[in-house]
Amino acid sequence: MKIIDEILEAKGKKKLHMTLIDPASQSVEKSGKIAKEAGMAGSDYILIGGSTSVSGQMVDATVVEVKKASGLKTILFPGSAEMISGHADAIFFMSLLNSRNIKFIMGYQVSSARFVKSLGIETIPMGYIVFEPGMTVGKVGEANLVGREDRNLASSYVAAAELLGMRLVYLEAGSGAPQHIPPETIDAAKREVSIPVIVGGGIRTPSAAEAVSRAGADIIVTGTVAERASSILDSLAPIIRALKGVS
């Protein structure tokens, strides 16, 4: 079954969790360990990518190790046209909708499209929107950040993503953000569209995960919490339980 169909089937029935692994942040072996424990903690998919560019070989090695260690499906979340591996199950073929730089809106997509097609992996068109504070992706992606409380602009961006045919929309506060996107902003965006809404950035506690889930996120992404934890399983399991406990 395609990942997009699994996501659509889950929508409204159960919340999904994705663990973000940035190949630039640790060794291939450590990435495998994070993925394995994330799977044990109840995570549904592993996202592989980030804003710091790494070679295709590094992404290849990470994807292979993550799949071997966890058995979970992998989705590429590329920060550039190089960060693509044919070993992944799918790729978020994404556009950073609020970038000032055309490279992130349509440039990398054009330069990688024929290569991605040749790999034959599942492609999932995704609208990516970066909110304050944006962190590294806000800077590298040259984003006109959406204000944390700007429900109007958030709703307009997700509506545009839906009309452009994006299958998913991702509301991003930036990896390591001190706070996640406020529930009221998530709620407004969620009410605007019928496509699944992904929320990530700054979610580090069970109560934060529950609040984001309750506000309407269909999919919740965490990254930093597993990268920094002394016990990945012990830190992730309560977060995933909290977000999945919301119906």
Residues found near ligand 1GP in the complex (CB under 6 A): 20, 172, 175-177, 200-203, 221-225
Residue 129 and residue 106: Cα distance in Å, rounded? 14
Largest CA distance in the chain: 43
* Identity of the residue, 203 or 240, whose beta carbon is nearer to ligand 1GP in the bound complex: 203
Residue among 73, 15, 13 at smallest CA distance from 39 = 73
Plot region of 165 (φ>0 → left; ψ -120 to 50 → alpha; else → beta): left
* Identity of the residue, 182 or 201, whose beta carbon is nearer to ligand 1GP in the bound complex: 201
What torsion do the CA atoms of 206, 144, 138, 161 make, to the nearest 10 degrees?
60
Q: How many residues does the chain have?
A: 247
* Identity of the residue, 115 or 182, whose beta carbon is nearer to ligand 1GP in the bound complex: 182
> Is residue 96 within a helix (H) or strand (E), and if so which, with residue range?
strand 90-96
* Identity of the residue, 5 or 144, whose beta carbon is nearer to ligand 1GP in the bound complex: 144
Please, what is the minimum distance in Å from the beta carbon of residue 86 to ligand 1GP? 23
Q: Which residue is nearest to ligand 1GP (CB)?
A: 200
* Identity of the residue, 73 or 247, whose beta carbon is nearer to ligand 1GP in the bound complex: 73
| Residue 197 · residue 8 · CB < 8 Å | no
Please, what is the minimum distance in Å from the beta carbon of residue 190 to ligand 1GP? 17
Residue among 219, 221, 111, 142 at smallest CA distance from 177 = 221
Please, what is the minimum distance in Å from the beta carbon of residue 197 to ligand 1GP? 13
Please, what is the minimum distance in Å from the beta carbon of residue 107 to ligand 1GP? 20
Please, what is the minimum distance in Å from the beta carbon of residue 201 to ligand 1GP? 4
